[in-house]
Amino acid sequence: MAYATVNGTRLYYQDLGAGRPLVFLHGWGTSGRVWDAQAADLMTDHRVITVDWRGCGRSDRPATGYTIADVTRDVLEFVDVLALEQPVLIGSSIAGAFTIEAALAAPDRIGAIIPVDAGVHHFSGMREAMDKLLVDLRADRAGTLADFVPHWYRPGASAAMIDWTVRQLLDSTFLIDQLVVDQAGYDPRARLDQVRVPAHFLHGELDTEVPLFIPEECASLIPGARLTVIEGAGHMSQQDQAERFTRALRAALR
């Protein structure tokens, strides 16, 4: 088991293979395990690093640091601690925002970004809905997540995979809920034209959590950015359609 101490917090990570470094960032409340299928494939010709960000998986659970800016600082410090040269940051859901903010803050240290099913500005202005979600989580966390998480997957997705995702969320600290509040006020569109690293969005065709027009708009605002739609996949496209996703990811990396 490997840990890196980042901004006073121990982050668990897995480091496999050799070659161009790829740093995989999971979405809200899950863990680096959501990238298992991609890690198994890409480790044959890349250096694949999956990390559990603060409060999630096997990483520490400090009392503070649960904003997009905080986790982005962790990501950049993690890159420095591991002495990674121009890594590609691949971020699922809210972690798509981490990749964008890292690219804006340190373009000289990041090789490229690949936001995956990234909400980016979709939840901006949805404070009432976010507040209701927080109330529901406090009243019945397990029940709320059991109702919420199935919508992240395409119709007919494996019940076992959905249950595993719920368990990861329940194992994470409730402090990550602060990111729900933060995301409701996050909108980087006015700054996206300042992104100076290659960007390629990957997005599930059937994603009902984040409509396709969100990455379409973001890609149009970032100079040279591209978008690939993963056919038949929902919000967790890397698990929903793992083989299709990995093929698309390899194409994006090329």
CA dihedral 31, 34, 37, 40 (to 10 degrees): -10
* pLDDT score at 46: 98
Backbone dihedral angles phi then psi of residue 90, each to the nearest 5 degrees: -120, 115
CATH code at 2-253: 3.40.50.1820
| pLDDT average, residue stretch 44-68 | 98
Q: In whole angstroms, give the CA distance from residue 26 to residue 167.
A: 15
Least Cα distance to 32 among 83, 95, 80 occurs for: 95
> For residue range 194-247, what is the model confidence (pLDDT) as tens digits?
999 999 999 999 999 999 999 999 999 999 999 999 999 999 999 999 999 999
Q: In whole angstroms, give the CA distance from residue 250 to residue 200.
A: 11
* pLDDT score at 124: 86
* pLDDT score at 127: 85
Q: Which of 105-109, 125-129, 244-248 has the lowest mean pLDDT?
A: 125-129
Strand bridging mode 9-16 / 47-51: antiparallel
Average pLDDT score, the chain:
96
* pLDDT score at 132: 93
Q: In whole angstroms, give the CA distance from residue 205 to residue 229.
A: 6
* pLDDT score at 229: 98
* Residue 1 in this model has a pLDDT that exceeds 80: no
Going from N- to C-terminal start, the domains of the chain cover 2-253
Q: In whole angstroms, give the CA distance from residue 13 to residue 23.
A: 10
pTM recorded for the entire structure: 0.97
| pLDDT average, residue stretch 171-198 | 96
| Strand-pair partners of 204 | 230
> For residue range 91-102, what is the model confidence (pLDDT) as tens digits?
999 999 999 999
* pLDDT score at 13: 98
Percent of the chain's residues with pLDDT above 70:
100
- pLDDT band at 125, cuts 50/70/90? confident
Contact between residue 112 and residue 87 where contact means Cβ atoms under 8 Å apart: no
